[in-house]
A and B are shown apart, each in its own frame.
Chain A
């Protein structure tokens, strides 16, 4: 039996809104070695964007000095993306996960971030502590290209 292919990468950057696109593109570029389907890649870009945006807006309340960490792991065809901030933390995680719930309606937030993460990924784990920060762990089993062509 062939050993399972593993790999990881880590990124560390300031909580600036211009880094939202950098983060999703960087994760997608790293995962391109798995030859993912366009659909999977778009889903992953979207959820990375959601988590990083949450750190910028909610974790650090747009203070650009904040630091965001992303760790992406590959294990065979399964991927795990972890987004960490050292910001305010989430008081009530169950409430935060509710579709359409937002603590910042005045900023035109839609409250759909966690709902999108849950819909696009197989697993969404939230670890958060008030005053210490938040880590979101996202896991997805990628669709192999061969299987994709059978479906279509």
Chain B
């Protein structure tokens, strides 16, 4: 696991920190500095709200290295309320309960661990919305 790369990505992993284009005002996640909508520079930092809906999903039964202990799990394309599509694991839900269009919210969870002694990587996943009181 690349410790330095994970560390550099911590703002987007922990807080869904992306950008808002100064020119066309569209939201961008993950941040890429050039707006995919209008091609201009996009450097305005913006943390997404974390609310969105399931756009599509698939259940992973044969996971890549580092994720074996969590299988089976669902990976979804989540459409954030600001517009961008994010690929992320769904959590706190059984595969049978997942529906296209269901509202979800971002939570920070363990993504993977580098063996028994390595670092623990934390980042965003999405789960069904737990409403306020």
The answer to whether A binds B is: no
